[in-house]
A and B are shown apart, each in its own frame.
Chain A
Amino acid sequence: MTTALAKHSVLELDKLRIRKNFWTIFGAKFRIFDMNEGLVATSKQKAFKLKEDVRVYSDEAMATELLTMSARQVVDFSASYDIVDAVTGEKVGAIRRRGMKSIFKDEWVILDVEDVAIGTIKEDSAGLAFLRRFLTNLIPQRFEISLDGEPIGTIRQFFNPFVYSAIVDLSADRERKIDRRLAVGAVVLLLAIEGRQS
């Protein structure tokens, strides 16, 4: 099925719905919609790469790259991923998993281009995170995105046995303090990696 690409760029929207394509054999694929179900971007995790490599495209055919995200190391317990604007070739930042804490509660650090921590993406509750890890992964995840200690957005996962979906809401960031390329890249990376691990 082909969905017409919505006129809005994925980088201009405050709310996004992300759905994972279950029918991919190798490498995760996501489709990103606005809240009116208009397709605004697609994403694909490259298969057969030792260093993880995730791309965001502005079109359904995955011909025009918007963002490229790649891991710095193959084996990295506190994994760091660089996010690059594929149109301008600029690095926009990075995210790093906070290692040991992630066993109980997933926490990612948002880094600026100099690797200075500027924000976090944290799983909502340690209790629920513990139940997800050790009892059932049917409990949907919820993450809070903060910049300089101020909440600027959320990622809410929805459980459906057939479709993995999540809603990203950045409407709390009224002043657009976070570079939306960094925000979209970070969210897609997190969902690709968390989705693979669950």
Chain B
Amino acid sequence: MPSPSKGIPVTCERCDCAFEAAASMRGGVAACPKCRSAVAVKGGFEPLFWALVGGGLTVVALAALGVASASGSVWAGIGTFAFGAAITGVIVSSS
């Protein structure tokens, strides 16, 4: 992963021009210096986002444990966790 102070290498899909986008554009779009097209700058989600996802999954796991102990069924707990984790997965993949 590039360090925050360095540019991020990107390639324009329209004209194949390879250039470096400013580090501040991580996760956004840069303008191709040749054809001005908007080019996505990869960078993935930020650490704070993953911390929130981890927190969300922890809450789901605790809820699943609660469901399992209240119902006396391990499968009810597994089902609750699978449902919560699937919703989290849909939200993350749609973003």
Q: Interface residue count for B (Cβ, 8 Å)? A: 23
CB distance from A54 to the nearest CB of B (A): 14
Bound CA–CA A165/B95 (angstroms): 30
Bound CA–CA A84/B30 (angstroms): 10
A-B pairs under 8 A by CB, number: 66
Q: Is the interface of A mostly helix, strand, loop or mixed?
A: loop
Residues of B within 8 A of A50 (CB): 49, 91-92, 94-95
Contact in complex: A51, B52 (CB < 8 Å)? no
Contacting A at CB under 8 A, from B41-62, are 45-46, 48-49, 52
Contacting B at CB under 8 A, from A60-95, are 70-76, 80-82, 84, 88-91, 94
Q: Is the interface of B mostly helix, strand, loop or mixed?
A: mixed
Contact in complex: A89, B49 (CB < 8 Å)? no
Let me know if B38 is at the binding interface, CB within 8 A. Answer: yes
Contact in complex: A84, B46 (CB < 8 Å)? no
Task: Kindly identify which residue among A49, A75, A82 contacts B48, using a CB–CB cutoff of 8 Å.
Answer: A75
Bound CA–CA A131/B76 (angstroms): 50
Contact in complex: B22, A84 (CB < 8 Å)? no
CB distance from A92 to the nearest CB of B (A): 8
Contact in complex: A75, B46 (CB < 8 Å)? yes
Residues of A within 8 A of B49 (CB): 50, 73-75
Contacting A at CB under 8 A, from B5-48, are 14, 22, 24-31, 36-39, 45-46, 48
